[in-house]
Structure formats: C-alpha cells, structure tokens
Amino acid sequence: MGAGGKGHNRGLQICVQGLDDAQEFYDLESKADGQSFYSEVLRRINLIESDYFGLEFQNLQMNWVWLEPTKLIVKQVRRPMNTLFRLSVKFFPPDPGQLQEEFTRYLFSLQIKRDLIEGRLNCTENTAALLASHLVQSEIGDYDDIADREFLKINKLLPYQERVQEKIMEIHRRHIGQTPAETDFQVLEIARKLEMYGVRFHPAADREGTKINLAVAHMGLQVFQGHTKINTFNWSKIRKLSFKRKQFLIKLHPEGLHQDTLEFLLGSRDQCKIFWKNCVEHHSFFRLLDQPQPKSKAIFFSRGSSFRYRCTLTQYCNALLLKVTFPNTGLNSINVLPFFFYPVDSTTDSPQPSPLNTKGPLCLSPSFQMSTLSLPGQAPSPLQSPILNEVGTARLEEDEEGSRKRYPTDKAYFIAKEILTTERTYLKDLEVITVVSRAVLIKENAMPEGLMTLLFSNIDPIYEFHRGFLKEIDQRLALWEGRSNAHVKGDYQRIGDVMLRNMCALKEFTGYLQKHDEVLTELEKATKRVKKLETVYKEFELQKVCYLPLNTFLLKPIQRLMHYKLILERLCKHYAPPHRDYDDCKEALKEVAEIAAQLQSSLIRLENFQKLTELQRDLIGIENLSAPGREFIREGCLYKLTKKGLQQRMFFLVRLSFCSILAVLILTSESENEWSVPHCFTIYSAQRTIVVAASSKVEMNKWIEDLNMAIDMSKKCQAKSDLLLDQSPCDRSSDEVSLEQESEDDMNSSRCSLDKQSHHRANTTMHVCWHRNTSVSMSDHSLAVENQLSGYLLRKFKNSNGWQKLWVVFTNFCLFFYKTHQDDFPLASLPLLGYTVSTPGDSDSIHKEYVFKLQFKSHVYFFRAESEYTFERWMEVIKSAASSAGRMSLLVPKGPAEMNGGS
C-alpha cells in the first residue's frame, strides 16, 4: 500500500521482529507516526531503558534505515504492511555494563548475538568462540555434551560455526554455575572491547578513490579499510558535518592538521543522507545531553536540511526534520561546535569524553598565544600563559550584569554552588580513568587482566555514585535559583539534606577507597614489568585530556573527601544553629569527617608515593626512588657554587629510611660572608661538601628547616650507612669530594634534565620551580590539593574593556582554562608559583567589583568573580599556591654570581 493510496484510511497491521527473533503484529492507525509505533512496542515488551534502541527496516535500496519518530509511517515506508521492522540497539555506549536494567543487558547481548550471526561483529575465532560459549550458557545452562551438540546443530551463532564448534564446547565447560544475568554481563564485557563493537559500515571512497567504510560510534566518526580501523575523528575535533549530493564532508578544527576539510564519496545521495543523519543522532545522544529549548519565533530563512536529533539519557525524544528547499543548493550540514550545542550554563550530566588520538603535548588553541618567560642567561621558558584574543567570545557587560541579578545572594548558595562546580570537575577527572584511559587500554590490550579488574572494579562504583550525586546537586541548585519548572522556594534553598544523604551513602565506598593504595602500587609495578603498558602509559599522559600525571587522578576520590569536609565546615560556620539547614550540615560534616579520619594516613602515604613515582619517571639515572619507606620532602631550584661561579640546579630532597646522618653541619651566615653570595649555605658530610644559594632568605630558611628535619628523622633510623645525598640527575660527578674536582660536564649540564625531558609538560612543578627560582615541599603539595576550586570567571582582554567568560579549574598549583565545563581538555594553563595575587590598583583603571589581579614580572592578568564569596575563595586558593614573598624575591648575585645573571 503506497503512501497516500486508496487504502490509506484502513489502518495498518505491522510486523515487528524482536531481538529474540520472535515476531509480533501491531495494529496502528493509518496516520500513525514513528513515535506512537515505537511507544507501543516499548509498552508491550515493558522496556524501560528505551533510549538505546530503535526500529529499523530495509528501504527500496535494501539499506537498513531507522524509523523516524516524528514522521508518518506511510511517508517513510512504501509498503509498511509488507515490511518487516525489527527492534535493534541503535546507540552502543562505551561501557554497556553500566546499563541499569537486567532486561536491557539481556537485549544488548541478543544484539551481540545477532551481529555475530550476520558477520557484523568481526573478531578472531578464539574471541568468537568465547562469545558463542557464553551465549550457549545463557540459552541451555551448564555444559552437557549431548545438549551442546544438539543446540549448536539447530542454532547458528557464527558464520563459520562448524570449524570452531569443539572450541565453543570446550570453553562452555568452564562456565558451570554462571547465571543468565552473569552470562549477559560477560558477553557485553567481551564485546565492548572489540574494535567492531556497535559498528555499522557505510561503504564509501576517499578522495583518491580508495574503497573504505565509514562508521559512527560514541566517540566520533571512524574510517575502516576492510575491517581495520585506520582513523578516528573525535567529536571534539570536528567542527562541521555536511553532505552535498553523494559527497560527505567533515570539517575539522584546524589546529595541527594539514587540511581542515575531508571529503568522502558514498554510493548515492540517499546513502549519504542516511549516514549524515546517523552522525547527527550519535553526536546528540552521546554529546548533547541537555539541549536548549527551541525559540518560539519561527525561522523562515535557513539553508539546507535542519534535521536535529534531540535526546537525553532518561527519555527518548522526538527527532525533527524540516526540509527547506533553495534553488541551486543541495547543501545539508550540521555544526558540531561545542558552543553551538552547549549552553554555557546548562545543567546536565557530564557527557562521556572522547578518547583523543592526538599524541602531542598540551598546546594552545588558535585563540591563545604562547607567552615566553625567561630569566637572564636562560633560554625562554616553555611555560604556557593564556593571552586571549578579542575574537567574538567576549560577553557584553550588560548581559553579565543581568545574569548576576538572577541568582540568590545568600552566601550559603555560593558555598553550595562551589560543591556543584567542583563536583563537575571531579567527575570529569574520574572519567579520565573510567572512560578515556579504559578505551585506550582496551584498544592497545596493554594492561594485564588482573590489574584491569583491580583498577576498574574499585573506581567504577565510585564514578557511578558521583554521577548520581552530581545530578542531585544540580537539581537542587536549579530549584534554589528558580530555574526549575517546579517554581518551589523555601525548603529547597538549602543543601544540607542532600549532603547528609550522600555522605552517609559514601560510607559504603570506604572499602573501595582503602584499596587505592594497592591499585597505585600494582600499577607502578606493572609499568616496570610490562613494556607495552609503560609505553601506552607514557603516551596517554601526553594526551590533552590527561592534563595531570595519570596516577594523580587515582588520588582524587580520597582528596575529594577532604574537600567535602572543608566545604561543610564552611557551611556550618556560616549558619547559625537555629537555621533549618544547620543540623543536616552538621551531621553531614560528622559523617564525612569520620570517613576522612579513617583514610587520612592512607592519603598521606598515597600522595608521597605518587610524587616519588612521578619524579622517578621524570629523572634520569635515579633508580628505586619510590621504594617503601622513602619520603619526598622538597624539590626546587638552588644555585650550586662551582669553580666557575654559580650554576643553577634542581635539587630533590628525599629521606631514605635506611640512612643515618653521621656528620652533617649546615652553616648559613658564615658561608654568605665567605663566598660573598646572598642566601648562601654550606652542606658538609663525611664524603662531600656543597655550597648552595637560594633565591631569597625565606627560601634559604625553608631548605635549612627541611634539611634539619630530614637529618633528625634519619638519625632515628636503626640502620647505619653512609650518607646518600639527594642530587640533581644532571650532577654526574658522583665521586666529587670538593668544589675544585667538579668536572666540565657537570658544569655544562646544569639544565640537561629539563632539556632531555622535553616531552613532559611545561606546567609541572619541576619546570616551574626551575624557571621561577623557587621550591615546593610535600606539605605545599598537600595544601594545594586540599584547596582545589573551579567555576566560571571573566577574564579581561588586554588593552580592552571586553571580558571573556571561561571555565577555570585550579589544581596542583595551576589554573587550567576551558571554554565551558563540558570541554574534554583545557585550552591553556597558567602555573601560579611565583605569581602575586591582589586587587587592581588605581593605575589599572578597572572599576568593577570582585576583580583580582595576577602578576609575575611583566605578565599581568585580570579575572572577575561572580560574587564576594567566590572572589574571596579564588584569592584564598591562589595565595595558597603563590604563597610567601620568598617565592617572588629572586637572587641578587654579587661577586662570582654575577657571571650567571640574575633578576
């Protein structure tokens, strides 16, 4: 029955094949649309997690296409009563194990079964046999030789089943006792690691005419040659997708690429449009979790197709297809710029980040410029400072002022908002491990299975908990701000009940958190033992999404407990006891303080181990630095006195538990007088004598205090041995006993470590301490992670009155800048060691509230907060990194020091 035919009013009887291959008939009205049809299917099978599924059918060209929800069925299918529709999985999440319903996982396993039978899920015969064995277990239960053979004779699970049948049965024997639910989970765990998981090929040709296959998945677009994936274009790299007749165009962001537009040729315009629609739908599903509402005013002038796919993870939303025809153009396009889809202040779940393929170090986008920092006698520093161009991203002052007035002014609201903003950053940090690194490790098959299980079985439950926690905080803030449709006030202008409920629930995860010590230790052992894992580990740390050392992210869950404790203390201090939110906040503080106390010693141990392993990778010629019992104390820049003057060196002070200091004397003022060098002190030992100078008196006192502490602690050790003095990896004269014996190589290699380690980021504390003549202790590191902060700030353009809104994250002595909180990686970073923070002076000509000024020498930045509270918080955390005046007062050399320069 054709669309619009005489039988149009008679109603429709349509056959649907389920994932279990059973067929059922549905009686529909003749003018039924796709959504009403799909809703009826869902109702009959009682499918709750319906977002991932859809109905598909074969068109006249025998291509499988998805039924569109908003269009009439008879407008999509030529003969619907003669067409077989089938329920299928449309969107394959990166980790199907996170599906909530057992029935959903069962349907997913049936989809895997269908893909195996149809030859779509290409994999090795061993893997195919393993999958088939689980499917047999799910169907007939425990192994029985006769039952197995009978089942495999009747049911075809693989195209080449006969030749691997014995292997299927052999593996099936191992699954005794496995329940159907456990079997489904195992099927999904195996399938999701395969390169062809969820892939549907769209035959195409590249510009040179080479035959390829295009596909779309959760992370972006994929290009295959045969069944081998040769390229992936992540959503974060794609600026625009479009098609013109048979030509499919991918426009990429231009950074670091030779060409920003890629062209592929598909078989027909219809095939091209089908693939384009799939791309739009996948991008919307996996990246657009909360879409802005359409404007009430209709847009009459547009260009090409305006197909949009709207969905959330909790509701299957309608698609909208509007066709506007223009003469002389067949262009259909969809932009995928983050600012096109993501409203700046949207309240969403955190989207799944995409594994990035870029293997270069952290770099600036075109809208940022490199700012060099150099000291006399040194090469320019690679440190990155954001200089934001005035390119259409500034917000009008009036708009910003208007937006401020919409929000509450209560200090408690801003404290609650700090919980929300930092929780967003924390969840993105967890995703670096749970989503991005997992995808890389699975793809490269680099991590031993036991370690994979240990790592993700501990981190996944924590990640899932905080996903729900973030959503709950987000909803509460929406009510507090009056952004919710509920229009409820009063009882919802509080946060204590949400915190209490979740802090109590967090107690259940104490066991997981206590295992992080084991996870970190086993990960370090494995990287030393497995060469491939070490390589993948190092390469992953160079990805933009991994903006901190990878093992730092494993410390985040315990550190987050300390953040909750500090924020709740701030709330309790703000509230008076009669306040309706006080009791809940006080009780929530009690709960989290109890967990934090249990894990405090573990956190100290983990932070020390993480720092030592980081140094172990960064330094050359140092072995077993992270051995048990060793404690990191301080790292930083000192000037070592040689026969040719002062040479800049990096020093790393680590207490070795087996050492006993027999005779060490530290002289300060005497050394300064003897050598005519300010802030100079001498370190004597039985084997060596070293004269060093600090950049300031404060820095000198810090080093002396920590050295004395290390000596006192070492004297208490029972084992007696010679002094093993911590030294720079560039200082290779290990047999040196006096200054005169220092070799020429030693003098010329003062900066070799930083130069040879050029593949590391420029914002590490080692690099920053070097270029800014300062030092950092372990206590400074601990304080820095306790004072993490994130949120939106306005950054003033240089020599302009314009301001740009940026999402800013402060952690590990550094500010990281993003366009929005949903971005996968920072655009630029600004290390704060050595910076001063203050309010603008009269000469700065800035007459706005809540503005703070960051300055290091000639580098000056102005940032504006949204309230007095957030202004004070940013000042507080930045001061904790920039800290004392000693970090700003540089060495003023006299005598021998003059040949090395100063500032």
> Higher confidence at residue 451 or residue 4?
451
Q: Which strand (E) or helix (H) includes residue 171?
A: helix 161-172
Count of H-run helices and E-run strands, the chain: 27, 29
pLDDT score at 296:
41
**For residue 894, pLDDT beyond 60:** no
Beta strands in 356-414 (DSSP E): 394-395
- Supply the pTM of this predicted model: 0.55
Q: What is the mean pLDDT of residues 474-501?
A: 75
pLDDT score at 621:
66
Percentage of the chain surpassing pLDDT 90?
28
Query: Smallest Cα–Cα separation from 439: which of 79, 86, 94?
Result: 94
> Band of the pLDDT at 595, cuts 50, 70, 90?
very high
Q: What is the mean pLDDT of residues 10-15?
A: 84
3-state SS of the chain: helix, strand, coil percent to 5?
45, 20, 40
Lowest mean pLDDT among 300-314, 379-393, 753-767: 379-393
> Band of the pLDDT at 644, cuts 50, 70, 90?
confident
- For the ranges 180-189, 226-235, 490-499, 691-700, the maximum mean pLDDT occurs at 180-189
For residues 652 and 593, give the distance between their C-alpha atoms in angstroms, rounded to a whole number. Answer: 33
Q: One-letter amino acid identity for 621?
A: G
Q: What is the mean pLDDT of residues 477-487?
A: 67
> Band of the pLDDT at 647, cuts 50, 70, 90?
confident
Q: What is the mean pLDDT of residues 395-419?
A: 65
**For residue 416, pLDDT beyond 80:** yes
Residues 172-228 pLDDT 10s: 998 988 899 889 989 998 998 888 899 999 999 988 888 999 999 988 899 998 888
Lowest mean pLDDT among 157-161, 533-537, 739-743: 739-743
Please provide residue 845's backbone torsions phi and psi, each rounded to the nearest 5 degrees.
55, 45
Residues 361-372 pLDDT 10s: 222 222 222 222
For residues 599 and 393, give the distance between their C-alpha atoms in angstroms, rounded to a whole number. Answer: 44
pLDDT score at 794:
92
Residues 55-84 pLDDT 10s: 999 888 788 889 998 899 988 888 888 889
**For residue 626, pLDDT beyond 80:** no
Q: What is the mean pLDDT of residues 346-361?
A: 31
For residues 616 and 626, give the distance between their C-alpha atoms in angstroms, rounded to a whole number. Answer: 7
pLDDT score at 783:
77
> Band of the pLDDT at 133, cuts 50, 70, 90?
very high
Query: Smallest Cα–Cα separation from 285: which of 192, 187, 198, 358?
Result: 198
Matching residue, tokens 């996903």: 467
For residues 369 and 364, give the distance between their C-alpha atoms in angstroms, rounded to a whole number. Answer: 7
pLDDT score at 252:
85
Whether 568 and 418 have beta carbons less than 8 Å apart is answered as no
Q: What is the mean pLDDT of residues 605-628?
A: 79
Residues 780-810 pLDDT 10s: 887 777 778 999 999 987 777 788 899 999 9
**For residue 418, pLDDT beyond 90:** yes
If you average pLDDT over every residue of the chain, what do you get?
75
Whether 52 and 22 have beta carbons less than 8 Å apart is answered as no
> Band of the pLDDT at 419, cuts 50, 70, 90?
very high
Structural domains of the chain, ranges and CATH numbers in brackets: 12-89 (3.10.20.90), 96-192 (1.20.80.10), 201-287 (2.30.29.30), 412-618 (1.20.900.10), 630-718 (2.30.29.30), 788-882 (2.30.29.30)
